[in-house]
Amino acid sequence: VNNLAIYIHYPFCKSKCPYCDFNSHVRDSVDTNIFTKAYLTELDYFYQHTGDKTISSIFFGGGTPSLMPTSMVATILEAINKKWGFADDIEITLEANPTSSEAGKLKAFKDAGINRLSIGVQSLQADQLKFLGREHSADQAIQTIKTASKVFDKYSFDLIYALPQQTITQWRTQLLEALPLVNNHISLYQLTIEPATQFYHHYNAGKFTMPSNEVAADFYEATQEICDKHNLPAYEISNHAKKGYECKHNLAYWGYQQYLGIGPGAHGRVDINGNLHATEMLKSPEKWLEQVNVKKHGLKHNIELTAQDQLEERLIMGMRQIDGVKLSQLSQNKLQNLFFLNNQNLIEVTNTHLKPTKHGLLLINQVIEHLLKN
C-alpha cells in the first residue's frame, strides 16, 4: 500500500509528428543542466509531502526521453533512490525514439538504471512511416529493437494501425512480421485524430479519409485474434503482454494506484499530507521551469479528490483493463444500474469483478459514460 509510481515527463522532440497531441515541443537547444536541476527540485518538493513510500516503478515518458543525456537520467534516478528508495523489483522504463537510440546510448541508459525500453516504431512500412512524419526508416526501427533486445531483459514497442488506405490484409502481414521481434510486450494503437494536430486540420480539409467505425472494429478484432494466437493477450485496450510481463507503470495507472507526475504537463494522483490529490503541472516547458525556480513546483492544478471523485476515476481507469474493476471498490447504487449494459452485452459481472466484454471494450467510452451517469 505504501508503493508509489513515478512518471517523469520530458517534453522535447526532434520534430513534431503530425498525429501527436502529447505535450512535446521542438526547440533549437535545451539547457539540460537547468532542467535536471528543476526535476530534482520538484521531486524534493513532493518528497516533503508524500511521506515514506517505496518506489515500485518509474516511467520516463514524453516527448522523447531518449533525447535526455544519460547522465541526466542517472542523476534523477539517484535522487529518487536516495529520497524514497527503490523496491527490489522496481521497473524503470524509458520511451525511446529510433532516431535517438544508438547502441552506445542504450547501453549507457542501462548503466544509468533503466531496465525496460519502450520503442516508438509506429510502422514497419516506408510509405506509412512517411505519412506519419517519422524521421526513421523501418530498418532503423528494427535495428533499435534488436539492440534493445541485447541490452535489456524487458522491452516493448509501439505500432499504429487503422491508417488511411491501409487494408486489414496489409495490417495482418505487418503484425505477423513484427511478432518475431516482440519479447513479451507490445502496444498497438489505432490511429486517432486528435484536436489541434496537423492531422486534424488535414483530415477536416479532406486530405485523407479514415476507416469507418465498422472497419476500425474489424482491424481491432484481427489484432486481438493474431495476438491471442501468439500468446500476447490484451491486458488493456491497446496493450498486449504475456502473463506476468504487463508494464508495471501501466498497471499502477489503470489500477488507480498512486503515481507522482513530475515535469511539464505531467499528471499525478498522489497522497499529499494524507489526502489523495489530482495534480497537473504547467504544460509549457519554459513556464514550468520558471515556476519551479520560484515555487519549487510547477503545479497548475492541485485538487483534493472526494470519495465520490475517487470512485468514478477508479471506474474510468479500471474499465479500460481486460480484468475490469473489483466489485468491492464500487458503490452500491452503481451496481444496481448495470442491467442496461449487461443486456447489451457490453459488460460482464462476475462474483468479484465488473469487466468490459470484448464488444464493450470497443465501445469503452460510451460504456464508461453510461456507468458514470447512473
Ligand X SMILES: C[S@@+](CC[C@H](N)C(=O)[O-])C[C@H]1O[C@@H](n2cnc3c(N)ncnc32)[C@H](O)[C@@H]1O
Q: Kind and range of the H or E element at 216?
A: helix 213-229
Q: Kind and range of the H or E element at 129?
A: helix 126-131
Question: If binding is defined by CB under 6 A, does position 239 make contact with ligand X?
Answer: no
Footprint of ligand X on residues 35-54 (CB under 6 A)? Answer: none
Question: If binding is defined by CB under 6 A, does position 122 make contact with ligand X?
Answer: yes
- Percent helix, strand, coil in the chain, to 5, is 45, 25, 30
- Which three-class secondary structure state does DSSP give residue 273? coil
* Total residues in contact with ligand SF4, by rule CB under 6 A: 11
Q: Kind and range of the H or E element at 286?
A: helix 285-295
Question: If binding is defined by CB under 6 A, does position 20 make contact with ligand X?
Answer: yes
Residue from the set 80, 112, 160, 316 that interacts with ligand X by CB under 6 A: 160
* Total residues in contact with ligand X, by rule CB under 6 A: 16
Question: If binding is defined by CB under 6 A, does position 210 make contact with ligand X?
Answer: no
194 binds, among ligand SF4, ligand X, none (CB under 5 to 8 A by kind): ligand X
Please give the order of strands across the beta sheet that includes 353-356. Answer: 325-326, 353-356, 347-349
Residue from the set 11, 68, 116, 120 that interacts with ligand X by CB under 6 A: 120
Cβ density class 50-66: b for 16+ within 10 Å, e for less: beebebbbbbbbbbbbb
C-alpha cell at 86: 527503490
Residue from the set 189, 200, 203, 245 that interacts with ligand X by CB under 6 A: 189
On whether the CB atoms of residues 68 and 224 are closer than 8 A, the answer is no
Binding mask 88-107 toward ligand X (x if CB under 6 A, else -) reads -------x-x----------
Q: What is the DSSP letter of 306?
A: P
- How far apart (Å, rounded) are the C-alpha atoms in residues 113 and 121? 23
> Minimum distance from CB of 342 to ligand SF4 (Å)?
38
Q: Which is nearer to ligand SF4, 24 or 183 (CB)?
A: 24
Candidates 13-21, 257-265, 279-287, 305-313; binding stretch for ligand SF4 (CB under 6 A): 13-21
Task: Give the binding site for ligand SF4 (CB under 6 A).
Answer: 13, 16-17, 20, 22, 24, 62-64, 97, 120
